[in-house]
Amino acid sequence: MKKKLAIMLASALAAATLAGCTDGTNHDQENADPVISGVEDTATTVAGEEFDALAGVTATDREDGDLTDSISVRSIPEMTFTDGVATPSAPGSYELIYSVTDSGNATGNAYCTLTVTQAASEPEELYSFSFEDVTPTEADARGWTASIDEAAEGTATLKEGSYVFDIAHLNGVGDGSVTLNKTLTGLTNGDYQFVVWARSSVDTYVHLLAEDAANEEWSTVGPGAWNVRVGTKVVPISTTFTIGDDTTKDIDLRIHMGKITPNPENPEDATPDTFSLAIEKVALYCTSGTETRVDLYEEDFAESAATVTTQSGDGAAASVAASDGAAEVTIDSYHDDGVGGVWSLKVDVALGDAAIESGVKYGYSVDVTAENAQAGELLVENQDASLRANFASFSLAAGETKTLAGTFTSEATIASGAVLRFQIGNPSEGVTSNTLTIDNVTFYRLDGDLRTDRVLLDRFLLFGAGSSNELNTEKPYEVFNGSDDSLSQLGIGTMYTEDGKLVYRIEEAGEADWHNKIAIGYRDNPLVLPGGAYFTFRIKIKASEELSFNYYVHDLNAVDWDSGLIIRENAVTIGPEETTLEFTTTTALIGESDFEMLFQFGSAALAELGEVVIEISEITVLQSVLI
């Protein structure tokens, strides 16, 4: 910000004035610069109303003492100040420059961004969401059927964002006495992976089975997963099966609880008689086809690190040098506190002459070592970031060497100038500098028709896509976890209402903020905001542990992410004490549009905390109509 203002001042102030204070620093060590205090980074006022830029602002000088009465204020665009007071006539953003000069001609400066809004009515409620408990319907079971043997004592209920089996007593009934199953029809050839995310109040066992639903006799398909231990932490468990070429099958997916054969090496290790087992979600993936790898680019940095470059801003600084046959990136500083994001520091690895085509499958591999803990985004895009082929994330512990690898189907065509881009502007807590070592870069194309498709994703939520409240405009709640998207993504959690609160329980955080997020409003059930108004978003929220998250309000109809943001608040901190947050727009919409309100929690720091519970007791949207 200060660098930006210095450039603007250079075009706005006379050369003679700048000659004495170009960088705001007095180079005569015998005369200290005066210091201006009390200037906020940002301020807001309304067009047509007086704004006192000097309220609470003072200036002191080591030699001259109090220089408050000598402070001058200028603005870009220009406004007229009289004794520090101006009445802006037009809405917009103004950069305020505070200056004071002492008797020795040393100058001190301070800066403020003033946002001038248009006059508007008093705020009125547009949305206010009620988080009363919701009764599940048959649709929320997603076609799964629960069964408990009549000899056992227990219930199967949709609650807390899961299908929960509360078993008071098994009473000795056998394997398969407690089940959850669903029949899928017309599955075609391929290799299938059946995945279940589950946890239990005590260690117990389950079987995962795929049965031929068309066979009247018991007939499993594939080996099944037998005696799989389920503990108190949610983990994915899985089994596989194959359907051959030119074959179509109806498959009964089965999750068996109940009495499991004891561990032969430890007879006391058996299914407990009493347990509560929660199944959060179930997925089925199908892999089919074949592929061939074609290497497009390799670099081991044996001779040079010239293909690795850095981009930095907002106070970040980094450089690259060759060291012991690798590219060594030295990060001298990250962005200024409260400014920038992961994109404020980039490391680009040029991919030579590799050409990338939209819709074609590619892969990469790169070895990275971090001196201090580092997380960030790993992209494949062109030099100026106008074309992006892929987006991923990564996380490295202090001293860790990791091979970062991935495959993707390109989202853009990049004829030349493709780079593997590390966006690493956000440091880990307590880290102010770092060294990353990059080696053994490989980029390749995957030819053929091999593909993995998600055939099924059933989440036992009472809100969001596929639920009974999917189109309920009074409950436009949705949750996303990285594990919903792919087994390779971190992020496990579920959402429900309890005691008048919206609860998001994160069992495992992902590396990127979007790996664990709540949405209020989504494509099929958006928040509709009218044009010609300002909006205030009020949230009452707390968390079981102190953490930070990113909060956005985003236009679902925008052509790109940045242009659609009307609220962007990074690193919002919450903890065990309930906090009321308020965010207000300063630009009115031209017309009505559909929006999503996003709470994005994922991070490497959050992952270290283990299970975290977020509780939201109020979300209110207020509108002030322009006058």
pLDDT of residue 181: 97
- Per-residue pLDDT tens over the stretch 342-374: 888 999 999 999 999 999 999 999 999 999 999
Task: Give dist(CA 255, CA 258) in Å, integer.
Answer: 10
CATH 3.90.1150.180 fits domain 293-448: no
Tokens at 270, concatenated:
């058996």
- Per-residue pLDDT tens over the stretch 123-167: 999 999 999 989 999 999 999 999 999 999 999 999 999 999 999
Task: Give dist(CA 513, CA 375) in Å, integer.
Answer: 11
Cα 385–Cα 391–Cα 393 angle in degrees, nearest 5: 120
Mean pLDDT of the chain: 91
| Better-scored residue on pLDDT, 171 or 365 | 365
Nearest Cα to Cα of residue 436 among 368, 390, 498: 368
- Domain span(s) for CATH 2.60.120.260 in the chain: 138-288, 293-448, 470-625
- Per-residue pLDDT tens over the stretch 56-109: 999 999 999 999 999 999 999 999 999 999 999 999 999 999 999 999 999 999
- Domain span(s) for CATH 2.60.40.10 in the chain: 2-117
Instruction: Say whether the peptide bond before residue 77 is cis (omega within 30 degrees of 0).
Output: yes
Fold type of domain 138-288: Jelly Rolls (2.60.120)
Task: Give dist(CA 582, CA 448) in Å, integer.
Answer: 52
Beta-carbon count within 10 A of 161 CB: 24
Instruction: Return the CATH number of 2-117, one of 2.60.40.10, 3.30.360.10, 2.60.120.260, 1.10.150.80.
Output: 2.60.40.10
Q: Report the top-level CATH class of 470-625.
A: mainly beta
- Per-residue pLDDT tens over the stretch 389-436: 999 888 898 999 999 999 999 999 999 999 999 999 888 878 899 999
- Beta strand segments in 87-189, E: 92-101, 107-117, 124-128, 145-148, 153-159, 162-169, 175-187
Tokens at 388, concatenated:
């992006």
Q: Identify the sign of the CA torsion 325, 326, 329, 330.
A: negative
439 pLDDT band (50/70/90 cuts)? very high
pTM of the entire predicted model: 0.79
